[in-house]
Amino acid sequence: MPEFATKTQAKTFWKKVVNELEVNRDSATFGTLLPNITPKQMGGKELVIACENKFIKNTLEKNIGPIQKAANKAAQSDIEIKIIIEKGNKKLEPDTGKLGPLFGPKTNPKKILRDKQERSGLYPKYIFENYVLGQSNRLAFAVAKAVVQKPGEVYNPVFLHSGVGLGKTHLMQAIGNEILKEKPGTKVVYTTSENFTNELIEAIQSGKGRGKYTSNKFRNKFRKADILLIDDVQFIIGRGATQEEFFHTFNALFMAQKQIVITSDRPPQDFEKLPDRITSRFRSGIIVDIQIPVLETRVAILRNKRDANRDPINNDIIDYIAENVDANIRELEGAYLQVLTLAQTENIEITKKIAAEKLGKTIREKTTKNLNMNQILKAVCTYYSVKSVEIKGKKRTKDLVLPRQVAMYLIKTMTETPFMTIGDFLGGRDHTTIMYGVEKIGEKADHLGKMRQDITNVKQMLYVD
């Protein structure tokens, strides 16, 4: 692998890493962390990246696997990643307690806001001002702005749902950031359902005499919040203790008229494995769907990105990328980065032909990825929160028929496996049953936005290396 001696070369390498992550990773964690990482240097087989505070560093260290994998792939070699804190680390201030207010240190409003955002789990880059508004997200944006004006009063709870990479996390965090800016005394807490579960486990362990995090601290953190923002709530499904704690946390906040905002990859009525007492509370507020952005919105997103970074890409290239990548915003920006990185690393001018070759290669690689029936079935089961043994079984309940038919459809369309072989794999079913299932899902995917989005989501799970 080549050795990079300068910061510029390190930045070029980091763009390749970011490209791998943004194209292949669905997790909201990396969508929020990546903008807060700065490549510092790279020599030999060590990559040094910097973040601005301990909170981000700890989160990175716990979730370094995908970044490590992307770096290794970009370098075609094993890379050692070192994380440092460059700014935002606490500095000791002189003791000014006896000097009086006129001689004490001056307060910095921006720093105070940044500290509050850090404690709340928010990232400053996610604000309403850089959220690109379009036909697909106009209602969600209006609801979010209304929540900021009257938290806990107008819409409560707010349930935002969409496929991956369509801006749910951005909009949710914009609510928190705007409220902290306009109402500084408000206690805002942002978390993912995964972090909520991990903190609950730590609290349970502490109750048995291990660790420092008690159940009271856990409950006080969430139940005394004025604004609770929970991302990807679908991941609490099937986790009994987490579901129970979430239910009581939700009730405590709702009864106290505190604002609750929740995001998910599907609407509440599709949570077949989640108790009715929880889904009924989701449905008690406003439910908003964020759709895939139309062409004009996709163009606006890329032009904003180009202008903010001063990238050397003209409008014709941006239009071409927006026309050919329509799955979600994350893939759209990933394609943009691929084209930009290619031009920068090879020091060539970006043309439509270059963009077409790069995007065509990416699409072909995805389409021809070597998938098997087990991989597809596993992805379907994860997405619909069911077990493979249930899919292969004889039960015909509503929560099993749909994912079973989706598995039939995806196996057939993605692997070209014969109907009889699919039938044998899915519990010894007749080939005519498989043909019917494939045809039915195909028709729904052609006419129903939700089914089309479900198919896209499962495929995206399969494309993650």
Q: Where are the domains of the chain?
A: 7-85, 109-289, 295-367, 373-463
Question: Residue 259: CA atoms inside 13 Å, Cβ hemisphere, count?
Answer: 26
CA distance 318 to 323: 9
Band (pLDDT 50/70/90 cuts) for residue 87 is low
Give the pLDDT confidence score for residue 370 in this predicted structure.
65
Q: How far from 94 is each of 46, 97, 418, CA to CA, in Å?
A: 37, 9, 75
User: Given this chain, do its domains 7-85 and 373-463 carry the same CATH topology?
Assistant: no
Higher pLDDT pick, 330 / 392: 392
* Bridge partners for 158 per DSSP: 261, 286
Give the pLDDT confidence score for residue 329 in this predicted structure.
82
Q: What is the per-residue pLDDT across 115-153, written as a single tens digit (0 to 9) for each? A: 888 888 898 889 999 888 888 889 999 999 999 999 988
CATH of 295-367, one of 1.10.3720.10, 1.10.8.60, 1.10.730.10, 3.20.20.220: 1.10.8.60
Band (pLDDT 50/70/90 cuts) for residue 12 is confident
Q: Are 283 and 251 in contact (CB under 8 A)?
A: no
Higher pLDDT pick, 171 / 201: 171
CA distance 155 to 152: 7
Mean residue pLDDT of the chain comes to 81
Instruction: For residues 397-422, give the mean pLDDT.
Output: 89
Task: Give the DSSP letter of residue 133.
Answer: P
Region 109-289: CATH code: 3.40.50.300
Q: What is the per-residue pLDDT across 410-459, written as a single tens digit (0 to 9) for each? A: 999 888 788 989 999 999 999 999 999 999 898 887 665 678 778 877 88
Residue 282 pLDDT greater than 50, yes or no:
yes
Give the pLDDT confidence score for residue 119 in this predicted structure.
87
Superfamily of domain 7-85: DnaA, N-terminal domain (3.30.300.180)
Give the pLDDT confidence score for residue 27 in this predicted structure.
44
Give the pLDDT confidence score for residue 94 in this predicted structure.
37
Token pair belonging to 411: 């196996």
Q: Which of 366, 448, 369 is nearest to 402 (CA)?
A: 448
Percent of the chain with pLDDT over 70: 85
Give the pLDDT confidence score for residue 449 in this predicted structure.
65
Superfamily of domain 373-463: DnaA protein, C-terminal DNA-binding domain (1.10.1750.10)
Residue 289 pLDDT greater than 80, yes or no:
yes
Residue 215 pLDDT greater than 80, yes or no:
no
Q: How far from 251 is each of 138, 222, 258, 269, CA to CA, in Å?
A: 29, 11, 10, 19
